[in-house]
Amino acid sequence: MIGALFLGGIAVWLAGAAACLALWREPALARRVGCAAALAGAALEGAGSAAAIFGGGAATIGLPFGNPLFTCAVRLDPLSAFFNLTLAVLAAAVSVYSFGYLRHMEGRRNLGAFGFFFNLLLASLTLVFTAANAFFFLVAWESMALASFCLIGFEHEKARARRAGVLFLIMSHAGTGLLLIAFLLLTSASGSTDFASFHLLASRMAPLEQGAIFLLFLFGFGVKAGLVPVHIWLPEAHAASPSNVSALMSGIVIKTGIYGMARVFFDFYGPPPLWMGTTVLALGVASALLGVLYALMEHDLKRLLAYHSIENIGIILMGFGAALLFRSLGQTNLAALALIAGLYHTFNHATFKGLLFLGAGSVVEATGTRNMERMGGLIRRMPVTAVCFLVGAVAISGLPPLNGFVSEWLTYQALLAGFGTTSSMTRLVFPIAGSLLALTAALAAACFVKAFAIPFLALPRSEEAAEAREAPAEMRAGMGMLAVGCVVLGLGAAWFVRVFDSITEQTLGIRSSAALVTARGFALSPGTPHGGTISPFGIALLFLIAGVAFAWPLALRWKRRSVRGPAWDCGLPGLTADNEYTATAFSKPLRMIFSALYRPRREIQAEYEVSPYYPSAIRFESEIEPAFEKRIYAPLRERILAGANRMRAIQAGSIHAYLAYIFIALVLLLLFGVRE
């Protein structure tokens, strides 16, 4: 049954891709077929993945292609099924949203090509999560990268989209090269490409080789995940893509890197050396903190959300790093808690970040701009979009009682519990990481005050914002699905955490939900029978009671006679958009506090007509230094180009020279080749 659902989902996606390609001259029909196939395939994959998770076993399915040397098989175990379920949930919501979002492209863009690559991306993502051997995994991985590249550059007439697509492709192939080397090392040690033969294999290798493979996988998968410092493609690609593609890129494509790390760290390795967990934890902290700091300075709504993807990848890796450290220290229960925190945040991030990108897409479609400084007052014109975006903003800020709070709270629990695990100095990394996570959460809340208030509140700052209209029903339905998901995953967290028992049993050999969840909610001290508890549902009920208590007197007062009047304008003729707080002004205090990181530059130009004391216009420009691009990647690019120019000398165009190269290569192989 599980195999039939899984294969049925892939077949529907591939059929949808082929049908869209055949219907490229019929944009309206291609839109409907492509979105319907994506939705149907997501439903089948979601049902099959849920059955695999609750079944707790593993099902291996051979696909009807391949050859005796390189077999093509998939394996649905609890870990792969969890990521496949995440894909299915997000794909379903994005597919519903796309029914309305793509309508304005009819007659202007090739929707047949879009539907082809959209469905192909979903099929390749499923195969990445379920590939049973290294060869098939890399084939699916590259198919996913190429489909993503075509969707990122779908609006190819824009230079920004072309540049973002090329940058993504370069970084993706660099990461693939690292993965290929790592898989070749494992294959040479095991004699097979099957993932089953890699189980705990890396831990039995020599320490130097073991560490090299770990770093290759960490940065190979880290490129796709957006891990600092190999993250530079992510803000460009997410901002330049169509908004429904941005939701998929941020919600699930970057999670392929997280899946790869989970598979390697908890399947290919046993208890690792302490430095591995410390490295992952440190990179997670750096990604979380730098991601939110750069997001605070963005006024492009989609780039702001993209930087928050880096932040949340960092939070996930903090959970993974803590789990690796606990595993090294023999604290299996705490390792399970940290792993659950990381995986739950993976699912939660897919819901609230997908919701935020879909909301941003509705706003950009209505206003024609991504610049928050030209928005404002949209809550009156787009109330449903505003409410959905607010739900996503509260969730990503880690505020109760929504889902982001639960997974971040579990991460806090794991980090704070780690201080008492050992008497060595290693234990200090846990409270330090916990305090930096708290700083990250506070900065994220501040950032989303800006991200919601500037576009949606106050007065419109442009004519386009003043004339904005609510998104179509299909787009509102897609956002509503994910908004409900944020609420349900928060209030029902005590039930959902039990789903992870099969995953922790597969990866760590224990089932930990009984120690983590009690009848009254989450245990404040997991494993302690008489410790306190916290309940997301109870917090929501408390908020509801407090809200009613606050609103009741206001409602009674509202019934009395009241007279509406204009807002106080400090004696001015009337409030205008010029009186509003801007995104630049909102972020200035933080720009000053973290000036050592930002290295800000500003320029003020005044224009005068009569007197230098009475300017007629003032122009203000401010920017921060792109540190990674300027100090790491720009010098690296220059060195690569310089080396390439020098190597042009060996490409003389002479057939005799090329034959000489071949002869020299054969001689070297004969002299130094490995003999059986």
Q: What is the pLDDT of residue 673?
A: 66
3-state secondary structure 461-525: CCHHHHCCCCCCHHHHHHHHHHHHHHHHHHHCHHHHHHHHHHHHHHHHCCCCHHHHEECCEEECC
CA distance 636 to 98: 39
The H or E element that residue 587 is part of is helix 583-593
Residue for token digits 């300017």?
615
CA distance 485 to 258: 21
Q: Name the pTM for this structure.
A: 0.93
Tell whether omega for the bond before 400 is within 30 degrees of 0, i.e. cis.
Answer: no
Tell whether omega for the bond before 229 is within 30 degrees of 0, i.e. cis.
Answer: yes
Q: What is the pLDDT of residue 676?
A: 46
Within 226-300, residue ranges assigned H as helices are: 233-240, 243-248, 255-263, 274-296
Q: What is the pLDDT of residue 61?
A: 81
What is the chain's alpha carbon radius of gyration, rounded to the nearest angstrom?
Answer: 27
The pLDDT tens digits of the residues spanning 436-459 come to: 999 999 999 999 999 999 999 988
CA distance 446 to 356: 16
Distance (Å) of CA 587 to CA 355, 451, 598: 24, 11, 12
CA distance 183 to 36: 37
CB atoms within 10 A of CB 574: 8
Q: Which residues of the chain have pLDDT under 50?
A: 527-530, 676
